[in-house]
Amino acid sequence: MRELFVDSFELDPFEIEPMTGDLMIQPPRASENATRSPEGGIALFVVLILVLVLTVVITQLIFVTKIEERISRNRQGRTALSYALQASGRQVLLKLSTDLMEDLGYLEDDLEEDALAGMDTAGEGVGTQLPGGLTLPGSGGGGGQGGTGENPSDDDPVDTHHDNWAHPIQETINGVQVVGVVVDGESCIDLNHIFSLAALPEEEDSDLDALEEAAAGNAAIDGLLQEAGLLEEFVPPEQEEVDEAQVILERLIEAVIDFNTENGFDYIDTPDPGGTAEAIVSMVHQRVLDENLRRIRSLDTIRQLEEVTWELFYGPIDPATLEEEDQYDQEDSPGMMEDLQSLIPGSFDDLESSGFELLDGGVDQIPTPIGLRHVMTANSSGKINLNTARPEVLMAMLRSFEDFDEAKEIAWQIRDHCNSYQQEIDDVTGEILEDLLSEFGVDEEEVQQFEYFSRFEQLKQVDETWQDDSGSDESVFALLQQDLEDHIVFSSSFFTTTIEGTSEDRSLSGRMVCARKGQHVVVISWKEVRR
């Protein structure tokens, strides 16, 4: 009676077991045309991409942070080096200004004030009056240093290589070790004035006489010689002047090479004086003819020449320097620098620290390698300071002495004279001034005064035989007068300071060029070079 019509119902999810008749629930079956959903795979792919991007970003941030930290540290170190160099440069300016004020008579010598306090003094630049009619050397020349013959006037200052500004720079500023040297331009041969140094006096006189005759013959141009425009007008050098300039530079280079080889500073490749001199003079001559390139502002200009090697420009390597670098202790350097800062200018300790060997009658400079940068410059007045010029420079100027050894002997005699101690002897009592100073508490062992030149005639005092013209040939003094008198001065106007600061593993070099203008010292250029 009872029939179950299963087919009449849609029981897709259910099935009846034929054996037991139990009702079983089964999951729905997927259709054959159905496809799986792609959302799950895309999500996983996006997550992987995000993880990769985050990893790259974090790595980049870490790398950039490290780079910025290193850049910041380097900038901080370079800033400290730059400030130290600038501070040292300002100290050089202070020394030059002080020396200029002393030469002009505006400052009293501290030593005289301490030793002779309360005593009457003479006029400015004349000196300090002592009992018995003796007079201390005044501040009219050489930064308080005395000299033979008449004292120079206040308007004619004298600079020597024993002045305080000429001493090597050795100091520590905020943990930065600073070393350097100050070279006056007038102690070197200037590339910009090489042809004027080579001009012969006879030709200059003849040209001057011709101008005077022309001015006298025409009243309309009566003041021709006084017109600055005419005197400053550029005149291209004659071929004879170019040839003479080459002779000067060849002798200069030969003297530099001779000094280095004689003192054991050997060259890897010995330069050719003749070829190098010809290349330098040719380059300078070509630039002189070009109005835009006429002024050479840096000695580095000649470094582009193939003939000017590194050894010739900077000087050969000193073997002793390499040994000192191997034995150098970084921890001991600050104490050494502090000791150097406490030295009294002009004392024996100060002279020794400045590279001088103490002798009975004076000092002798300890040899160090030299190059063209020690005897040539691009910043000077065009004259040669007889008190500060190296013997190699004087040898190059002594064209009347064709024999190299003779010129060398004369140049070194002049240098030795400037390195000898000065002893003032009173004409009345015959007492040495240094002994009298000791009675007033001034120890002659503390501060030494050296000979210097303030007049050209004082060259006769270097060697008495120089002024002997009894023979057929001209005297040495007459030849010196012919070669030097028109080209020398006794004070310097331009100064080039080369400084190098070192801190940890960083170093920075600076170069300052300054000049004395009237009663002021002005900076012409300042350049920092990172090495």
Residue 278 has pLDDT above 50, yes or no: yes
Give mean pLDDT, residues 265-282.
97
* 169 domain-assigned: yes
> Would you place residue 519 in the very low, low, confident or very high pLDDT band (cuts 50, 70, 90)?
confident
Residue with tokens 């400053």: 232
Q: Give burial (CB, 10 Å; 0-12/13-18/19+) of 418.
A: buried
Residue 269 has pLDDT above 80, yes or no: yes
* 439 domain-assigned: yes
* 20 domain-assigned: no
Give mean pLDDT, residues 70-87.
85
Same domain, 274 and 397: no
Same domain, 218 and 148: no
Most confidently modeled of 11-15, 318-322, 494-498? 494-498
Contact 143, 99 (CB under 8 A): yes
Contact 459, 167 (CB under 8 A): no
3-state secondary structure 289-350: CCCCCCCCCCHHHHHHCCCCCHHHHHCCCCHHHHHHHHCCCHHHHHHHHHHHHCCCCCCHHH
Collapse the DSSP code of 499 into the 3-class scheme (helix H, G, I; strand E, B; otherwise coil) and give the result.
strand
* 325 domain-assigned: no
> Would you place residue 28 in the very low, low, confident or very high pLDDT band (cuts 50, 70, 90)?
low
> Would you place residue 88 in the very low, low, confident or very high pLDDT band (cuts 50, 70, 90)?
very high
pLDDT of residue 424: 55
Residue 214 has pLDDT above 80, yes or no: no
**Angle, alpha carbons 471-476-480 (nearest 5°):** 145
Domain span at 498: 80-118+125-188+333-367+380-468+475-531
Task: Count other Cβ atoms within 10 Å, centred on residue 317.
Answer: 14
Report the distance separating Cα 172 and Cα 177, nearest Å.
5
Same domain, 135 and 267: no
pLDDT of residue 323: 62
Same domain, 165 and 226: no
Q: Which of 364, 356, 340, 345 is nearest to 447 (CA)?
A: 345
- The total domain count for the chain is 2
Residue 355 has pLDDT above 80, yes or no: yes
> Would you place residue 319 in the very low, low, confident or very high pLDDT band (cuts 50, 70, 90)?
confident
* 4 domain-assigned: no
Task: Count other Cβ atoms within 10 Å, centred on residue 298.
Answer: 16
> Would you place residue 145 in the very low, low, confident or very high pLDDT band (cuts 50, 70, 90)?
very low
* 351 domain-assigned: yes
pLDDT of residue 458: 95
Give mean pLDDT, residues 154-163.
82
Residue with tokens 């970084």: 330
Residue 530 φ/ψ, nearest 5 degrees: -90, 130
Among 219-223, 280-284, 469-473, the minimum mean pLDDT is found in 219-223
Same domain, 158 and 105: yes
pLDDT of residue 215: 42
Same domain, 455 and 484: yes
Report the distance separating Cα 279 and Cα 313, nearest Å.
14
Q: Give burial (CB, 10 Å; 0-12/13-18/19+) of 440.
A: middle
Residue 233 has pLDDT above 70, yes or no: no
> Which residues fall within 8 angstroms of residue 273, CB to CB, at 6 or more apart?
250, 251, 253, 254, 257
Report the distance separating Cα 405 and Cα 419, nearest Å.
21
Same domain, 314 and 439: no
* Bridge partners for 530 per DSSP: 508
Q: Which of 449, 500, 453 is nearest to 345 (CA)?
A: 449
* 289 domain-assigned: yes
Tell me the pTM. 0.73
Residue 358 has pLDDT above 90, yes or no: no
Same domain, 456 and 340: yes
Collapse the DSSP code of 121 into the 3-class scheme (helix H, G, I; strand E, B; otherwise coil) and give the result.
strand
- Per the model's pLDDT, the better-predicted residue between 214 and 53 turns out to be 53
* 51 domain-assigned: no
Most confidently modeled of 24-38, 262-276, 347-361? 262-276
Give mean pLDDT, residues 37-50.
82
pLDDT of residue 273: 97
Give mean pLDDT, residues 242-264.
97
Same domain, 259 and 342: no
Same domain, 314 and 270: yes
Residue 139 has pLDDT above 60, yes or no: no
Among 22-26, 67-71, 513-517, the minimum mean pLDDT is found in 22-26
Residue 276 has pLDDT above 70, yes or no: yes
Residue 423 φ/ψ, nearest 5 degrees: -130, 110
Percent of the chain whose pLDDT exceeds 70: 68
Same domain, 143 and 249: no
| Average pLDDT along the chain | 78
Same domain, 278 and 293: yes
